[in-house]
Each structure stands twice: as structure tokens, then as C-alpha cells.
Structure 1
């Protein structure tokens, strides 16, 4: 029997929760050489958390390409600055390898954003929005799913910041790493259930 969890959680209940924080190592990748080393490291893991960030647009008709791709293990998150290095060959290889499962949320949006930078077909991805339903969870946002399972809040304060900035702030780095890491934590908890 699959364990069932609370179906939904209210915003005011989330607001009262303690804030979650990514406590692992964060590496900003902005050269192809660094991307190569990062992918070499990531290929040692059977599963990783995945997310992307795109610079927000506040003008009608203005769109930006994906700025950042976050890939996280249990204790290390790599932030690939796609606005600087695009999607280099080692990263394309990682996105299409069957060897590592990439776990994300609302992947259709991520894949649509990636198609503006590469024609690579992403392989061995698991979308948590589809996965959590069999555990009775009806909420589809990362913040709500995480709150239901871990009784902690993922702050969304950095979501609408400039992901194309010359230098990412510490707050941006922690926010970006947390989102990818949280996807891995959700999958791990539910997979043990």
C-alpha cells in the first residue's frame, strides 16, 4: 500500500512554517571546462534534482532565453550559467543520458525554455507534478509539495530577480540550489514510502 499524504496545504499554513535552506556546496559554472568537470562529477550519481531559471520579463512581448540550469546531488549543486556558456556539449550529453535520472517539477516549461537553446531531447527525466498524485498530493507547486512532506517553507523571494546579472548574489545562488535540491529530497522521501 502506497502511503497517502495531505492533499493540499493553505498559503497561511505555509507562511507559519520554518524556512528551509540548502546547506550544501554551490558551484557556479560559467566556462565549458568547468561544465565538463561538473558533468563528470554528476555522472557518478544515479539521480539528481533539476531546475532552471529565466530572467523575468516585465514588458509585453519581451522574452528571455533560459539563464540558469541547476543540477543538484544530496550535498552539491551546480549552477550552469547558460547565458554565458549556452548548453555546452558535456551538458547536452548529461541531459540525454539514460544513466542518471533527472528529477524536476513542471518539466514541460523547462523543456520549452531549453528548446530555445538546444535541440537535444532530454532523457530519463521524472516530473514530480505527475509523480506526487499517487501519494494523494493534489498540490502541484514545489513550495506546497515540500511543505506537505517536510513541514518547511521554500522562500520564493528571489524568483523574479535578474538571472542574467553579471554576478549572482548569495541569495540567488541559495534559492536556485534549493529548488533543484528540494526536487531530489521530495523524490527520495516518496520513493521510500
Structure 2
């Protein structure tokens, strides 16, 4: 496998769309959060992402609306705007035995701390994790396209994440983002283990010598 250094938006536009085909479960109560975390705790690695209601007014900042956590076949959507930050989720984020994989996690955690204090443990930042493989792009969409040849839709990014009910499109978007983080991590771990990849060669431009 040749791992590209970077990819263009034009390249991505022609790719088929990535879709999470597992089970999506929306969590709105502390009781359901306890059950969800109990289920997630069976897994050594999970994908994680968050969504915040966009603000179109200068100076207005909303708290994180949604925290999504995915395994290979399930994604739980924790609606923080409806139930606050349940203790079960904090336990999961602080659990050193469960690896949490995401992108721009520093920003996500900073925003989440506006809801409750916690000290995350065992986290993998994909922007750093991809560097040894020669990948220079920083966005989830580009990293996933480089490795899998599929594009992640961003059509729901600026939708209302505090809506009374999340639409099927919103749920699919949120679940796919968390799931793709996990997919990227798993593939890179496999490539590292097998060595079955090559970094894209950098072709230096020829410089004509002056006579």
C-alpha cells in the first residue's frame, strides 16, 4: 500500500461516500448512559468525536451538544445538551484501560470541560499518530480519503445539534465521524505491525545550475 502525503479536494469529490452501517443508539438519560458505558467498557479502543451547535452571532459560544463514541459495530450518541455530563462518561474518559481515538481532541476536551471537570487518560490524537506514516494532511476527511479511498460527508456539520430530535442524517454524520477515527487507528496499527506499506516518494524539483 502506498500512503500518500496529501490529497486534494478534487480527488476526494470523486470518491464514494463513507457510511457507518452499524447500530446507532441515542442516549438522553443518566440511566441509559450507565448502560452504554458498561457496554463500551468491554472494548479496549473506541473512536470519539463531539458536535456543538453552531453560533452565527459574534461572541456567542454554545456548550458541546453531543459526544459520540463508537466501536466497530455500535455508536452511542450522548446528548449532553439534554442531560448534562453524566458521571459514567467521565469515568470512561478517565479510564486508563480504554484507549480513546479522535482528531483535534485537545479542542474537544477543552470544550467538554465547560460542562464538567475531568482528566482524560489513554487518548490517541490522530493528527500526531499519522505523522510517522508520512501523512501531512490534518483533517479527518483527508486522512480517511488517503487511507481508504472514501469521502466523509460534511453536509450536517453546521446543523442544529440541539434540535429536539436529531435527524437520521445528523445521526449518521455524527456516528460516521467517531467510527472513522477508530477505522483509521486500526488500519495504521495493522500497517505498522505488518510493514505492508510504503510512504509516497517526495520528488524534489530539479534546480538548474547557473554557469
Q: In the TM superposition, what are the counterparts of 1:19-34 in structure 2 within 5 Å? A: 19-34=17-32
Among candidates 34, 37, 52, match of residue 36 of structure 1: 34
Give the aligned partner of residue 57 of structure 1.
55
8 Å contact kept, 1:149–1:186: yes
Give the aligned partner of residue 207 of structure 2.
none
| Higher Rg of the two aligned structures | 2
Give the CA deviation at 1:142. Answer: 0.2
Give the CA deviation at 1:108. Answer: 1.1
Tell me the secondary structure at the aligned position of residue 48 of structure 2: strand
Q: 2:187 & 2:84 partners in 1: Cα distance?
A: 33
Give the aligned partner of residue 99 of structure 1.
97
Q: Which moved more, 1:85-94 or 1:159-168?
A: 85-94
Tell me the secondary structure at the aligned position of residue 164 of structure 1: coil
8 Å contact kept, 1:4–1:135: no
Give the aligned partner of residue 156 of structure 1.
154
Give the aligned partner of residue 82 of structure 1.
80
Q: 2:98 & 2:83 partners in 1: Cα distance?
A: 22
Q: 1:176 & 1:190 partners in 2: Cα distance?
A: 22
Q: How many residues align?
A: 191
Tell me the secondary structure at the aligned position of residue 189 of structure 1: helix
What TM-score comes out, normalization by structure 2 length? 0.89
Q: In the TM superposition, what are the counterparts of 1:97-136 in structure 2 within 5 Å? A: 97-136=95-134
Give the aligned partner of residue 198 of structure 2.
none
Give the CA deviation at 1:4. Answer: 6.2
Cα deviation per residue 1:85-136 (whole Å; 9 max; x = unaligned)?
1111111101100111000001111011111011111111110001001100
Q: 1:121 & 1:60 partners in 2: Cα distance?
A: 30
Structure 2 gaps of 5+ residues are 192-211
What TM-score comes out, normalization by structure 1 length? 0.98
**What root-mean-square deviation, in Å, do the aligned CA atoms of Structure 1 and Structure 2 show?**
0.8
8 Å contact kept, 1:27–1:79: yes
Cα deviation per residue 1:26-46 (whole Å; 9 max; x = unaligned)?
000000000000000000000
- Shift >6 Å, 4+ stretches: none
